[in-house]
Structure 1
Amino acid sequence: MTDAQQLFDYARKQFDSIADDVERHFEQVAGQLREWMPTDSPFAHTPPPPKRLPPPTALQAAQRWISRNRALTAATVAFLVTGSIGAFVFVKAREGKRKRRAKRSVSGARMDVVVIAGAVASPLTSALYLDLERRGFVVYVVANTREDEHYVRSQSRVDLLPLRMDLTDPFAAQEQMARFKNLLEREHIAFDGADPHRLNFTGFILVPDAQASPTTIDDISSEEWADALNAKVLNTIATTQLFLPTVREHKAKVLLLTPSVTPALKPPGHAIESTVYGALEGFTSTLSAELKPQGVSVSHFKLGNIDIPAVTARQRREGVPKPLLKATPLRQLHDSVFDALVAKRPSRTWHVGRGSLAYEIIGGWVPSSVIGWMMGAGRKSKIVDDVKDEDLQGSQASLTWEKVEQDA
């Protein structure tokens, strides 16, 4: 074998080796491609990139932080709860101590006028207009009779004045209203050299005598129904109609105060009281809807068990046992009335007195059979005999429920 033949053989072996290596490499690459691409597709494609998770939201981040710092979170929540309760108690205590006084003119004279219409000699009404006079208001009390006018003047208060309004004589009532409007429109001088000022009609307060002696419907005659509706409902509506033009002109607040415990429960023997309350509530709702577009607010005060000192002292002398639960102090009602008079947007409904809100919820949601059982069905005659009309006027219809609690 020649040298050329050996060189040729060696070159052929090297070429075969290189060809085998290239073939094995391509087979390996082809195998990987077959694994990546589906069997039914003739084209090869690369696998999709892995999906990235979206960034966590603020809520998820907060939850993760809370789970990692549970001890710190519990301490923070406890601090916020105790701090909120403490702040609420502090604000309430401060509001109770805050002095509520009516505004005065530059010369120091009184300038805010309040008109009260209702049962003039009622302990609640008397306490209300006397308190408003002490707080710096010029208080006019609507007197339908000469006896009411004499009763108001007997209080001997300079800024507590009767406003004679005879509803049986429309012309005389209109004349009296014209005098009242002239009083508001003209200027007043407190003393020589003082700057003149005008009176501001702040509020018109209705305190109708919505109470009635407990009796069954069978014993109520048509004359008694007519007298009750005329005195308690129609007089209130007629008085409101007389003052409406002045109320609109001065944007005065309108307040209606009615007892709510007995009408909310609707016990037997209180048909007149429930009917009067329903009529006054419907009238107030319609009046509020009509006056709201004109910028006049109407507030309904639903009264519960309120401790009136004059009534409590009389009951103590008569030997009436104390109620099981303490009544709400009268000052809370006075403060609420003042806040409603001076607020820019007072609430539509105010619940003042123990049981006002609770019994309204009970009367609206609890079945009547359960309420009758709670009040002692079968002992209604005892309730009717024990409760006096004077006690109802003083406690604002809460003694009926107190009698039930005592008997239980």
Structure 2
Amino acid sequence: MSADDQAFLDILSSVPNDIRKYSGEVADYVDSHLEKVSNTLREALSSSKWIPESARPRPPPPPPKSFQMSVAPTVLGQLQCWVLKHKVLTTIVVLAIGGVTYKVIRRKVNRKKRRAKRASNGARLEVVVIAGPASEPITRSISLDLERRGFIVYIVCNTIEEEMLVQNEARPDIKPLMIDIVDPESARASIERFKLHLQSPHAAFQGAKPHHLSLRSLILIPSPSYPSSPIATLSPSTLSDLLNTRLLTPILTTQTFLPLLHATPLPYPTHHSLPANAKQGEKPSVLLLTPSIISSLSPSFHLPESLITTALTSFTSVLTSELSPLNIPVTHLQLGTFDVSSFTHNKALVTTTQAQRAETLKWDDGSRQAYARNFVAVNSKGGGGVGAVGKGSSLRELNNAVFDAMVSGRAGTVRVGMGSRTYGFVGRWVPRSLVGWMMGVRRVGEPRGEFGRGGIFGESLGLGPSRSTSPGSASSGNVHGLGESEYVSVYQGDTLPEGDYPDGFRDEHDGYDGNGH
């Protein structure tokens, strides 16, 4: 069979289908018209008067009507339409309401009553031990605040000088606690004497009902001040001293107090009343306060602070895991910047650019050539320390956070102070190269632009080809903040204008060590 024959047969086979299709369409068309004609006739006959009523056909049923209910727009719908039309204004309103709500809630939290528990006769019952340098503004602020709230505050002292500083506060409920943590036997004996003191009955006044003291919290405050220097210029003795005073001291202090923390609440004689928290079996809390800005960013020339703070963070994590089964909460307070001008003379915290330049003159020629410009640039950004004059959060915020952490009974990490949360986010998510660039770090030999510290810095440091540094101008072994106090002229014979000197520089800084102290 040829292809033409096959095509003809296909056409013939499709003819019945086409006939069925077209016949169906014609039938539908005829039916629709016949139905219209029949309905018209039926309607006309049903309304004719000449046909008897019994013979009249019924009128056709009315066509179905589509039911549409007009619903008035609701308030929510109108609000949605308005929001879609005014997105910018809606965003401003939401931000304003959120800001006002945050302020109101924060004000209520700050006004919350924070007081220590007292006996029925008003006697103080709860004891707080603070292990931190007695001369630090943070230590003084926390101790004075806790004493005002009704606690008996003991500050751990290692030397006679520290004991005299505590006694100079002239507050009867802020007392020194002498503990030599370097000597384990002496430290153990001091803890036993302190334990017996807590177990002994006390009377607020003669004839009053005796009461007992209970340990509320142990607060560890390592010194928040650290030297800044390139790794190449840090001497082994400096690193050893920093590790001993900033890292080992808090660890050994905690180790010394652990037996007392385990034994609390202490057993008291049954014929004397117990403090309320002793009846409930509450355990004392452990607080560790460390700066967080430098450790979050890990910038150049801040190895000691970054290293020690990170190590203390790991120590807190391990201590939390060990003490959690014993129901002893451990809280790590990561501090931002606080205004400590009320506790420190302003001149003690002023670090000028001239002081930073003078510090670089103590380095050898190779270190000065490699690090001096970036060192001055990074340190001129502000340093990011805990203490500041005229800037930073109020110390009241820190005091409230310490009290809340003491009584909450929950372990964890708390960020408090200006910059603590922001710099934590920046250090976690912003690329490290961008952080360094923002702090003024540039490649050696790269021209400095708007954000740099070139030109005059290099000349004043003796880095340019036209200047040379005398061999006696560099003092090896002295590190920023820890070396021997000796003022080194920055301009090597040049005289600064009168306005470029810090206040009282000529009169009070004959022994200037380049650190602002």
- State whether TM-score is above 0.5: yes
Q: Separation in 1 of the partners of 2:73 and 2:284?
A: 53
Q: Partner residue of 1:70?
A: 77
Letter aligned with residue 344 of structure 1? G
| Structure 1 pair 351–317 and aligned structure 2 pair: CA distance change class (3 A) | closer
Does the alignment pair 1:192 with 2:206? yes
Deviation per CA, 1:86-131, whole angstroms, max 9, x where unpaired? 5543332122223422111111011110000022211211121122
Q: Partner residue of 1:375?
A: 439
Does the alignment pair 1:360 with 2:424? yes
Contact conserved, 1:118 with 1:208, CA < 8 A, in 2? yes
Letter aligned with residue 127 of structure 2? V
Q: Partner residue of 2:263?
A: 249
Question: How many residues end up aligned between the 2 structures?
Answer: 322
Counterpart secondary structure, 2:289: strand
Q: Partner residue of 1:263?
A: 295
Q: Partner residue of 2:392?
A: 327
Contact conserved, 1:252 with 1:296, CA < 8 A, in 2? yes
| Structure 1 pair 351–343 and aligned structure 2 pair: CA distance change class (3 A) | same
Does the alignment pair 1:235 with 2:249? yes
Contact conserved, 2:339 with 2:390, CA < 8 A, in 1? no
Q: Partner residue of 1:121?
A: 135
Letter aligned with residue 329 of structure 1? S
Q: Partner residue of 1:305?
A: 337
Does the alignment pair 1:344 with 2:409? yes
| Structure 1 pair 317–284 and aligned structure 2 pair: CA distance change class (3 A) | closer
Contact conserved, 2:181 with 2:256, CA < 8 A, in 1? no
| Structure 1 pair 313–290 and aligned structure 2 pair: CA distance change class (3 A) | same
Contact conserved, 2:155 with 2:166, CA < 8 A, in 1? yes
What's the CA shift for 1:72?
Answer: 6.2
Structural RMSD (CA): 3.3
Instruction: Determine which of 309, 315, 322 is the counterpart of 1:277.
Output: 309
What's the CA shift for 1:85?
Answer: 6.4
Identity between Structure 1 and Structure 2 (%): 39
What's the CA shift for 1:217?
Answer: 0.6
Letter aligned with residue 161 of structure 1? K
Q: Separation in 2 of the partners of 1:324 and 1:101?
A: 29
Counterpart secondary structure, 1:309: coil
| Structure 1 pair 196–350 and aligned structure 2 pair: CA distance change class (3 A) | same
What's the CA shift for 1:150?
Answer: 1.0
Q: Partner residue of 1:57?
A: none
Q: Partner residue of 1:92?
A: 106
Unaligned runs of 5+ in 2: 1-71, 84-89, 265-282, 354-381, 383-387, 443-451, 462-479, 483-517
Contact conserved, 2:349 with 2:389, CA < 8 A, in 1? no
Contact conserved, 2:338 with 2:391, CA < 8 A, in 1? no
Contact conserved, 2:285 with 2:409, CA < 8 A, in 1? no
Q: Separation in 2 of the partners of 1:324 and 1:141?
A: 25
| Structure 1 pair 72–374 and aligned structure 2 pair: CA distance change class (3 A) | closer
Deviation per CA, 1:196-223, whole angstroms, max 9, x where unpaired? 2111211100000143211111111212
Q: Separation in 2 of the partners of 1:74 and 1:240?
A: 61
Contact conserved, 1:113 with 1:137, CA < 8 A, in 2? yes
Deviation per CA, 1:126-183, whole angstroms, max 9, x where unpaired? 1211221121110000001111111111111101100001122221111110011111
Letter aligned with residue 202 of structure 1? R
Q: Separation in 1 of the partners of 2:218 and 2:195?
A: 14
Deviation per CA, 1:302-322, whole angstroms, max 9, x where unpaired? 111111123665149969799
Q: Separation in 2 of the partners of 1:206 and 1:109?
A: 26
Contact conserved, 1:254 with 1:298, CA < 8 A, in 2? yes
Q: Separation in 1 of the partners of 2:351 and 2:222?
A: 28
Counterpart secondary structure, 1:142: strand
Instruction: Determine which of 140, 143, 150 is the counterpart of 2:157.
Output: 143
Q: Partner residue of 1:157?
A: 171
Contact conserved, 1:66 with 1:73, CA < 8 A, in 2? no
Contact conserved, 1:106 with 1:195, CA < 8 A, in 2? no
| Structure 1 pair 361–191 and aligned structure 2 pair: CA distance change class (3 A) | same
Normalized per residue, the structure richer in helix is 1
| Structure 1 pair 153–69 and aligned structure 2 pair: CA distance change class (3 A) | closer
Deviation per CA, 1:293-345, whole angstroms, max 9, x where unpaired? 11011111111111112366514996979999941111100111111112232
Letter aligned with residue 132 of structure 1? L
Letter aligned with residue 233 of structure 2? D
Q: Partner residue of 1:17?
A: none
Deviation per CA, 1:62-104, whole angstroms, max 9, x where unpaired? xxx998951367899x999988765543332122223422111
| Structure 1 pair 338–69 and aligned structure 2 pair: CA distance change class (3 A) | closer
Q: Partner residue of 2:238?
A: 224
TM-score between the two structures when normalised by the length of structure 2: 0.57
| Structure 1 pair 389–354 and aligned structure 2 pair: CA distance change class (3 A) | farther
TM-score between the two structures when normalised by the length of structure 1: 0.71
Counterpart secondary structure, 2:342: helix
Q: Partner residue of 1:398?
A: none
Q: Separation in 1 of the partners of 2:321 and 2:100?
A: 38
Deviation per CA, 1:356-380, whole angstroms, max 9, x where unpaired? 1111111112111011011111369
